[in-house]
């Protein structure tokens, strides 16, 4: 990413999820910090990303995903509850490029992506259940900024998400 990118300073990259778990055992115990199950695959150039959460709840329709990614990301992470559908992709190469260009730190999709070669050329971190070639519907159905469940873990707008090679964490507060 060019040094002139306005959101560059907002990207949190100096962490390890293993250390965050070790250093925040009490938060894990009382539920203020949760670990997503290890069912997500990594896509995009950015293996490690973190940021404040914006949520979407959609099912096999990505019109709202595009609408959100068209806005300034300011280092945030878009968490998409796609109902764990393995029948259509919710994010493809165009949306990954849009997310990169608009300063999103990453995207977590409880569903599928497509155009993985294009996604892997973008400076964005994406986690999804799988790749699928079929595109989504474009009707605009869904909800934004609502509490969602991602692989059984509740995620609320404003939570903090941390992702690296070892896993994905969701915290109710920013972790040191």
What domains can be seen in the chain, in order of their start residue? Answer: 8-171 (3.50.30.40)
Query: What SS3 class is residue 139?
Result: coil
pLDDT tens, per residue, the chain with 176 residues? 344 344 444 677 899 999 999 999 999 999 999 999 999 999 999 999 999 999 999 999 999 999 999 999 999 999 999 999 999 999 999 999 999 999 999 999 999 999 999 999 999 999 999 999 999 999 999 999 999 999 999 999 999 999 999 999 999 999 97
> Terminal CA-to-CA distance of the chain, rounded, Å?
25
Predicted TM-score (pTM) of this structure: 0.93
Cα–Cα distances in angstroms (integers) from residue 21 to residues 51, 79, 130, 166, 172, in the given order: 17, 20, 26, 11, 14
Backbone φ and ψ of 85, nearest 5°: -65, 135
CB count in 10 Å sphere of residue 86:
12
pLDDT of residue 10: 60
Consecutive H or E run containing 107: strand 106-113
């Amino acid at each position: 990413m060019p040094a002139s990118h306005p959101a560059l300073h907002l990207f949190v990259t100096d962490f390890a999820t293993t250390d965050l778990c070790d250093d925040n055992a009490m938060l894990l115990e009382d539920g203020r910090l949760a670990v997503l199950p290890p069912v997500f695959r990594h896509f995009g150039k950015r293996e490690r990303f973190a940021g404040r959460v914006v949520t979407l709840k959609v099912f096999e329709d990505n019109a709202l995903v595009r609408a959100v990614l068209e806005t300034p990301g300011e280092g945030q992470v878009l968490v998409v509850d796609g109902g764990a559908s393995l029948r259509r992709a919710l994010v493809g190469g165009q949306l990954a490029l849009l997310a990169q260009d608009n300063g999103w730190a990453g995207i977590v999709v409880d569903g599928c992506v497509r155009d993985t070669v294009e996604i892997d050329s973008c400076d964005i971190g994406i986690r999804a259940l799988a790749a699928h070639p079929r595109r989504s519907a474009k009707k605009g159905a869904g909800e934004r900024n609502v509490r969602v469940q991602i692989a059984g873990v509740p995620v609320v707008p404003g939570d903090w998400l941390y992702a690296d090679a070892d896993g994905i964490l969701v915290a109710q507060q920013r972790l040191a």
